[in-house]
Structure 1
């Protein structure tokens, strides 16, 4: 991936930030995006403000953000090799309490953001006759938890899983690979946002009896970014979460 150009959404903290760091280590050019200007600037400064990394503020729920990410990538680096649709939101809420605004929020950011950002990069990847799109799903699509009511959030992620397979089918002829990374419980700021004070207390949801680290998701993203014969797949990075539970 040396000197390849990568776009990472939701890149200021957590999994997205770990992905950015790994690709920088590997010599890639990175466009890092976040809707939060303050957090994005802080993350960029912590990286040392490298010349091969460009921060772009924007909400991916807005279709223009994807187009701006493409413009910046092409203007500065001339190509787009990988798009990592990491930006998203997730929160539990009982089914009977979900309002239309909740559905709109999850689907606008999670699904429409992924959809339209992918739509923005596809023409350039077609010109190159090569490219990779990585979407971020969740193991809860395949393995629901009764005590974690999240029908709205999980449904929006389920749409991403389905979208991945369809996009892979449509653009395989152009040598564009599309895959989903499906994390289990990962040690990241997200856990605190959804009210989990001790993420390690959820270790038993995984056969390996521990939670995952952001670096492990980043390493999976790096593998898929240059895997030339993998497409349309959902890769669970979840310590056996979908297979069974440790007790």
Structure 2
């Protein structure tokens, strides 16, 4: 079981792909982990608490943080990894698509981050990481990405705002802006998507994990948008 000195990470969207990789990485760092997604399975590791739920639902965020505190007693890091990407012509986005993307990407981020930071303040410090997209910084004519830009760009702005608001209170806020990563969500399109990256290949889950662990171990870094995108931010 966790002790009051063992650090604890909360990771959303943790059932597969990047989120599952982050769970493994934080356990290797010695953290206990609260892992959540809509369909996540129970873990045999007593230091991993899994919680099913829709992060867009305010009650889910409250349940995640409450359960994490009950089990482990503290929250040191929150990784806002859960996200939805839908590519569509701007005028063709439906109300349901709009609601789904904003619900997970922004509403889901907002409440769980509020609760996590409230707890971090009582502990004297903590770290929040947002997983965003280079499409928020640099549009690509091959990818219709207005909703991604709206939501992930909002996360990046909030990342910097939180970094400044809490800079003197021991809480850091950073983001990782991604290109396309080879995960089950992108399977079937890997060859096409690889061509969007100047390096000519997709990113691996390990590339994202390495970025997160760097930020976790970099106490002088806050307000950073770290691009892990195969060179997309530099140009096309």
The separation in 2 between residues aligned to 1:208 and 1:4, in whole angstroms, is: 36
The separation in 1 between residues aligned to 2:212 and 2:61, in whole angstroms, is: 20
Structure 1 residues 9-30: Cα deviation after superposition (integer angstroms, max 9, x where no partner) = 0000110001001111222100
Please point out which of 221, 226, 239 is paired with 2:217.
226
Q: Which residue of 2 aligns with 1:96?
A: 91
Q: Which residue of 1 aligns with 2:28?
A: 25
Equivalent residues of 1:206, 1:244 under 8 A apart: no
Query: Aligned-pair distance for 1:210?
Result: 1.7
Query: Aligned-pair distance for 1:105?
Result: 1.5
Query: Aligned-pair distance for 1:114?
Result: 0.7
Q: Show structure 1 runs of 4+ deviating over 6 A.
A: none
Please point out which of 203, 206, 211 is paired with 2:202.
211
- How many residues are paired up? 232
Query: Aligned-pair distance for 1:68?
Result: 1.4
The separation in 1 between residues aligned to 2:63 and 2:218, in whole angstroms, is: 27
SS of 1:61 mapped into structure 2: coil
SS of 1:242 mapped into structure 2: helix
Equivalent residues of 1:89, 1:110 under 8 A apart: yes
Equivalent residues of 2:135, 2:148 under 8 A apart: no
Matched, 1:172 2:167: yes
Structure 1: which 5+ residue stretches go unaligned? none
Equivalent residues of 2:135, 2:145 under 8 A apart: no
The separation in 2 between residues aligned to 1:66 and 1:168, in whole angstroms, is: 21
Please point out which of 128, 132, 136 is paired with 2:131.
136
Equivalent residues of 2:14, 2:23 under 8 A apart: yes
Q: Which residue of 2 aligns with 1:10?
A: 13
Matched, 1:57 2:52: yes
Matched, 1:187 2:182: yes
The separation in 2 between residues aligned to 1:207 and 1:3, in whole angstroms, is: 41
The separation in 1 between residues aligned to 2:119 and 2:96, in whole angstroms, is: 34
Normalised by the size of structure 2, how large is the TM-score? 0.93
Normalised by the size of structure 1, how large is the TM-score? 0.89
Query: Aligned-pair distance for 1:181?
Result: 0.7
Q: Which residue of 2 aligns with 1:68?
A: 63
Query: Aligned-pair distance for 1:142?
Result: 1.2
Output the aligned Cα RMSD.
Answer: 1.5
The separation in 1 between residues aligned to 2:142 and 2:196, in whole angstroms, is: 12
